[in-house]
Each structure stands twice: as structure tokens, then as C-alpha cells.
Structure 1
């Protein structure tokens, strides 16, 4: 029976998320390594003030995910597949052994800097729950203007979809969505218009920065953000990481693919449990646990029992 590691993306951040990681030698070593690459203490990056920066958010999320995944591996819990939502995909690539941690720290930092520099103000993301995609397409078409562009982006669940673009345009769309019966329609804690065509120049710059970085074939399948397909070669993972920021994350399909490939347990890295909640909605027949909610010890016990049951 297979186990998948899930790595959350922007929107899951919270103050002190690095300080609150489980105490473990692998976590401490990962924080030290990140600080060496950044040439400053990574524990200064997760304060409420610091997390106003897209750069700090993305680097902190990435480091938190890899740190706990490494701790789980040291405790004997190894993934059979990996998947990361948006910037979480970099953590997935590292744990799949396609990309080194040090190279990934620098790339995630660059990714955040390019995004923040391109859209310092007035852009962001929103989420709508309880409406079908076709309904939202109609609302987007009614709200879109050249001055305030908005786009449907991540498909997190059949009735949970994000939008990206101008905050003014998003706010108008959210109001209309609430009027038409959305159970939830609100702005996300994301200060850039991720996963839409506005990010295309960022993707191109990121891809150029990756040209000299070696990517290896992953040790376990990596589920792509753009296509929701398992990738098994380094070049395809490089393309997914570079261009994923300009395309919607097909998370709903990714979770379904994990189930189809035999995953019985999904383990979400800190912070929070957003991906765990989504998995419980999409594939309730599979077990989903977040390290944050359940703790390292409980997650390890469940994972090892599953492996014992499967005879591995």
C-alpha cells in the first residue's frame, strides 16, 4: 500500500511556522542548511511582519515542508509518491531526489522575488466554494476588464476554485459569487496573481535560471501541477516547476491520480492541514493525515502499520 507526501502552497503560511516545527535533528539540520544558503537566519523569516513578503512566505513554506519530510524519512516513513501545491512542488521535487535542497532554496527565493517585483500591489487571489466551474466562467467573463483582469486558476476540488488577478476585479467577482449562492467567497492571503497568464514572464525568467541546474530522474513519481500526471524524468519536472506558476494547479485531478495509483495514506507536511481537508473531500476512501494536526509520532505509527499490512 502506497504512501504519498503532500507539500502545501502559499495561503497555508502562518506566523512562527518554522519555530513550531516538530523537534527533530533532521528539522534542525534543514533549518541550518537553509540559513547557510540564504546567508541569514531562516528563523527570522516566519514572523508576522516578515510574512508580508511573498519571498519569505514561499521560502518558509518550502523549508518547512522539506524539514518535516526529511524527519519522517529518518524515522523510517518513506514516500512512494510526492505532490506539492504550487510552491510546494519544489519540496516534492527535493524529496523525490530530482533537485537538491540547496539549489531549490535559491530557486524558490528567486521565484518569490520575481513575483513580488512584478506585482507589488493591487493583485492577489481569491477562493470560491460551492459553485461549479461553468458558473464561475460566466461571472469571470462579466467582470473581466483590461484594467482589472481576473482569471479562473486552481481547481482544488470540484466546487472549490481559485481566481487570480486584480484585487478590485476579484472583489467584484466574489460579491457576485456570494449573491449567486457560493458558500464561501473570500480573498486569500496571497499578494500576487499566481497561476494565470499574468505570470508568464516570471515563468520564462525562472526557466532561464534553471538552465544550468541539473535535475535528476526522481526516485519516486512526482505528480505535476500543470498536467496532474506522474513525472519520472528530471527535465519534465524542471518544466513543471518553471512554468507551473503561469498555469492553474490541477490539484483535484492530482489527488484522484494518487488514489488511482494505489495511494492509501496521504501525509501533509506543515503548516496547517489544507491539503488534508481537500483529500478527505475528494477521496474519502483513503486516509489523509497532516503532521500539524496529528503530530509526528501518530503519523509515523499509522504509516508503519500501513506498510506492515502491505507486507513491505
Structure 2
């Protein structure tokens, strides 16, 4: 039975997320390394105030995910496949052996800064539960205007879809989808319109930055955000990391692919359990473990047990 490591994206953050990471020497080492690359203590990034900033959120998510991956690796646990949701893709690329942690830090810092500069206010994201993609798109078409554009951003599950765009447009869409029968429709704690055409300028600048970074052939198969396919070359991962900021994240399709390829244990890196909740709902015979809830030791033991039984 195969194991897939999942790296969460923006929206999973919470105050003290770095301080609450498991106590492990490789976690401490990773935090120290990140602080040295950034030239400041990253443990100052996870306050409620600083997590209002896209840059601090994305860097905190990257470091949390990679730190625990390093701890799992030190305990002898290596995944068969990896996937990262949105900015989590950079942590997944590090775990796959394609991108160095130092380069990932620099790229994610740039990514967050570019996104904040492009849309400092008036934009964001929302989530709609209990409504199909077709019905959500119909609502978006109804309320889309040039002044308040709205787009599909993430296809997390057949009935869980996130939308991006101008706050005025998002509020109209969310209000009307609730009336139209959505189980839940609300704004997310994301202050930029990720994964839509509004981010094409950011994608181009990221592409330029990634062209100056050396990526390796992945040692572990990596599921892409945009195509929901396994990416096995450095160039394919480079393209995914750059372009996905302006493209729909096909998360349900990506994890479905991992499941079809034999993944029966999904392990989510900190800080949350959003991705394992989605996997547990979609794949009812799979085991799903969030490090934030179970810890490193329990996840390592379960991974070994699943491997022995496979």
C-alpha cells in the first residue's frame, strides 16, 4: 500500500502554527535554516497580526510542512508520492527532491510579496460547499462584471469549490449561492485572488525567477496542481510551480490520481487537517492522518504498518 504526503495551502494557517510543531531535532534544524536564509527569526512570523500578510502565511506554511517532512524522513519514513495544495506545492517539490529548501524559501517569499503587491486590498477568496462546479460557474457568470470579477479557483471536491476575485463580487456570489441551496458559502482568510487570471502577471514573474533556479528530476512522483497528473521531470515541476498561481487547482482530481495509483495512506503536513478531511470523505477505504492531530511518531508507526501490510 502506498503512502502520499500532502502539503496544505493558504487558509490552513493559524496563530502559533510554527511554535506548535512537534518537538524533533529536524524540526528545530529546519526552522533554524529558514531563519538563516531569511535573515530573521521565522518564529516571529506566526502571530495573528503577521498572519494577515500573504507573505508571512505562505512562508510559515512552507516551513511547517518541510520541517515535519524532514522529521518523518529522519525517522525512516519516505512517501511514495507527494502533492501540495497551492503554495503547498513548493513543500511537495522539496519533498520530491526537485527543489532545494533554500530556493523554495526565496521563491515563496517572492510569490507572497508579488501577490500582495498586485492586490493589496479589495480582493480575496471564498468557499462554497454542497454545490456542483456547473452550478457554481452559473452563479459566477451571473454576477461577473469587469469591475468585480469572480472566478473558480480550487476544485477541492465535487461539492467543495473555492472562488476568487473582487470582494464585492464574491459577497454577491456567496449570498446568492446560500439562497440557491449551498450548504455553506463564506469568505476565506485569504486576502488575494489566487488561482485565477488576475494572477497572470505574478505567474510570469515567478516563471522568470524559476528559470534562474536549478531543479532536479524528482526522486518521488509529484502530482501537479493544474493538470492533476504525475510530473516526473524538473521542467514540468518548474512550469507547475510558476503557472498554478494563475490557474485552477484541480485538487480532487490530483488526489484521485494518487488513490488510483495505490495510495491508501494520506499523511497531511501541519498545520491543519483540511486535506485529510477531503481525502477521508473521497476515499473511504483509505487511512488519513494529519500530523497536527496525531503527531510524528503515530504517523511513522502507521506508515510502517501500512507498508508491511502492502
Question: Normalising to structure 2: TM-score of the pair?
Answer: 0.99
- Per the TM alignment, residue 285 of structure 1 is displaced from its structure 2 partner at its CA by 1.5
What CA deviation, in whole Å up to 9, does each residue of 1:268-291 have, x standing for no partner?
Answer: 000010000000111111111100
Alignment of structure 1 residues 41-80 onto 2, 5 Å: 41-80=41-80
How does 1:264-279 map onto structure 2 within 5 Å? 264-279=264-279
Aligned to 1:296: 296
Distance 2:295 2:33 in 1: 24
Equivalent residue for 1:168?
A: 168
Is 1:219 aligned to residue 219 of structure 2? yes
CA distance in 1: counterparts of 2:309 and 2:176, whole angstroms:
50
Question: Which residue matches 1:234?
Answer: 234
Q: Distance in 1 between matches of 2:189 and 2:52?
A: 9
Q: Which residue matches 1:4?
A: 4
- State the distance in 2 between where 1:293 and 1:39 align: 31
Q: CA RMSD in A?
A: 0.6
Summarize the alignment of residues 98-177 of structure 1 with structure 2, pairs less than 5 Å apart.
Answer: 98-177=98-177
Partner of 1:181: 181
1:137-157 deviation line (CA, Å, top 9, x unaligned):
111111000110000111000
Residues in 2 aligned to 1:249 and 1:83: alpha-carbon distance in whole angstroms: 12
**Residue segments in structure 2 that go unaligned for 5+ positions in a row:** none
Where in structure 1 are there 5+ consecutive unaligned residues?
Answer: none
Residue 281 of structure 2 corresponds to 281
Number of residues paired by the alignment?
310
Query: Following superposition, which runs of at least 4 residues in structure 1 exceed 6 angstroms of deviation?
Result: none
How far residue 300 of structure 1 moved from its aligned partner, in angstroms, is 1.2
In 2, Cα distance between equivalents of 1:133 and 1:263:
26
Q: Quote the Cα distance in structure 2 between the aligned partners of 1:281 and 1:133.
A: 18
| SS of residue paired to 1:20 | coil
Q: Deviation of residue 170 (structure 1)?
A: 0.2
Q: Is the 8 A contact 1:255 1:283 kept in 2?
A: no
Spell out, residue by residue over 1:132-181, the C-alpha distance to the aligned partner (whole angstroms, 9 max, x if none).
11111111111000110000111000000010000110000000000011
1:215 & 1:207 partners in 2: Cα distance? 13
Partners of 1:263 and 1:188 in 2: CA distance: 29
Structure 1 residue 185 displacement after superposition: 0.1
Once residues 211 and 85 of structure 1 are traced to their aligned partners in structure 2, the CA distance between those partners, rounded to angstroms, is 22
**SS at 1:125 equivalent:** strand
